Structure 1
Amino acid sequence: MKKLYLIQCNLSDDPFFENRIKNLGNWVKYFKNNFIVSSSLNPQQIYNNLAEGYENASIFIIELNVNNYYGRMNTKVWEFLKKNKNSGTNFLS
């Protein structure tokens, strides 16, 4: 089952790292170095897919639950959340 994850890192624009994130599944980038990704992997597996060659970088991965959220954000984020919402689990997929 796919779940939604927030991925944050301290890397400046790095297209190779960003492509690794994009290869995980559906994704949206909303701030520099901040991504929301839909993946069937768990956080450790995601980290292992991203971290090779970036052992000194800070990479933070946390599962998101979209039962309760609010704020002002670029419309692409709201569209991503709506498009990827799984009504049976209240998680994005």
Structure 2
Amino acid sequence: MLFVIEISVAPERRDEIFERVKRWEFPEEVRTLAKVVKIGENAMILIVDVPDVSTLTKLTAPFSDIATFRISPALRWEDIKALMSGYNNPKTS
């Protein structure tokens, strides 16, 4: 299951989250596809592939007291194209 996770931290908690991240490892069952820092926004975007939704708790729980998470399910572009291949788009007049 593919998810996009945006993690935001208040500026005054920035150093605290950096210290935690140094000691933290991604759970073994999580495959990270991208880790992107949003410069100037105290935010990071992760794209992860996880076996089930409950695995997201392993990602967020260690930081839930100092960070805000926006989690969205996602599909790869190739998967969307495959799903839409049978879709017949009606012509507009």
Please give the TM-score of this superposition, normalised by the length of structure 1: 0.50
Structure (1 or 2) with the larger CA radius of gyration: 2
Please give the TM-score of this superposition, normalised by the length of structure 2: 0.50
